[in-house]
């Protein structure tokens, strides 16, 4: 295994969840500058998420349970305007949930051919 679970989470899962969060906020009618302010990121980063230049490796909307959590977080962000640390904490939790539920195994094996999903249970054991 050349690419471990933490690398997959930080390089692919987390950005994909954040991209979905940006999409949900955009669907709620918010402008890029408003989304950037709420998420404590730059407007340029918001633009890249929306153009699929960032976080486009995993389609989080294909996982209804995670997508529902992203939608709930978006509503909470609009309503409560939490700190960047609270948002980060929630995104990390969702990233670990995706790993623990085995949603990322097939993707992991595509980016690292040495990973055999039928033998590797690292994420399921650690985060499941």
Q: What is the spatial distance between Cα 83 and Cα 9, in angstroms, rounded to a whole number?
A: 22
Residue 2 predicted with pLDDT over 90 = no
Q: What is the spatial distance between Cα 22 and Cα 28, in angstroms, rounded to a whole number?
A: 10
Q: Domain residues for 116?
A: 5-127
Span 5-9, mean pLDDT?
92
Q: What is the pLDDT of residues 18-75, one digit of tens each?
A: 999 999 999 999 999 999 999 999 999 999 999 999 999 999 999 999 999 999 999 9
- Tally the domains of the chain: 1
pLDDT for the residue 117: 85
pTM, whole model, 2 decimals?
0.94
Q: What is the spatial distance between Cα 76 and Cα 78, in angstroms, rounded to a whole number?
A: 5
């Amino acid at each position: 295994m050349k690419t471990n679970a933490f690398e997959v989470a930080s390089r692919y899962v987390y950005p994909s969840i954040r991209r979905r969060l940006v999409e949900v906020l955009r669907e709620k009618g918010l402008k890029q500058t408003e989304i950037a302010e709420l998420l404590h990121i730059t407007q340029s980063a918001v633009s890249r998420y929306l153009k699929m230049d960032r976080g486009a490796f995993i389609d989080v909307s294909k996982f209804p349970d995670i997508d529902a959590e992203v939608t709930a977080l978006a509503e909470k962000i609009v309503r409560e305007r939490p700190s960047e640390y609270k948002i980060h904490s929630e995104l990390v939790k969702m990233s670990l949930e995706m790993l623990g539920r085995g949603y990322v195994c097939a993707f992991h094996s595509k980016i690292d051919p040495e990973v055999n999903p039928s033998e590797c249970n690292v994420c399921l054991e650690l985060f499941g």
